[in-house]
Amino acid sequence: MRKKFRIIVFVIVVFLITSCTKQQEKNEIYSFSGKNETVTINNGLIIVTNDSEKFIGGDLTFNGEEPSDVKYSATKFFFYKDGVENIILNNIVSIETTTKGTPKGTNIQQDMGSISSKDLFYGDNLEQIKKSLNFSVSGILMNGEKFEYNLVLDVKKTY
């Protein structure tokens, strides 16, 4: 009986020690969105776990007439750290001209894409991102006209 009691106490102590020293599971989910008179970003996510960090750019919509016949466009998500712009995700699309006929432009991609890595956000970058996440879409139309729209995004912890 005494031996059984010691074994039970030993198992409980070992369980408590391993439970207390075991690395806590990290799961954080942030959503972001934003809107101004020209563009809207919805459904953006930042997912942080012990094993990976993922940035999902969400969806872009235009609040009015979307630029059409786009020859070149660039979208980027970025934040400021110590006054310096740090790019998280950057997408560039360029239409090559053809030798036959008139070159036709395209519309801007609505899905902003994603990026993931073990160490996507270094140090306190996630804290900086939560405070100063920005989005920009710029480009050139087939007629040579340039456009650029900027948006500050609102980041909220959802889990």
What is the distance between the alpha carbons of residues 59 and 40, in angstroms, rounded to a whole number?
Answer: 8
Q: Is the pTM of this model over 0.75?
A: yes
In the numeric block, the tokens 């139309």 are attached to: 141
- Which one is predicted more confidently, 43 or 159? 43
Contacts of 53 (CB under 8 A, 6+ apart): 46, 47, 116, 117, 118, 119, 120, 121
Residue 36 corresponds to which tokens in the numbers above?
């101004």
* Per-residue confidence (pLDDT) for residue 107, from 0 to 100: 78
* Range of lowest pLDDT (9-23, 66-80, 117-131, 135-149): 9-23
When pLDDT is cut at 50, 70 and 90, the band that residue 103 belongs to is: low
* Per-residue confidence (pLDDT) for residue 99, from 0 to 100: 44
What is the distance between the alpha carbons of residues 19 and 115, in angstroms, rounded to a whole number?
Answer: 33
Contacts of 23 (CB under 8 A, 6+ apart): 50
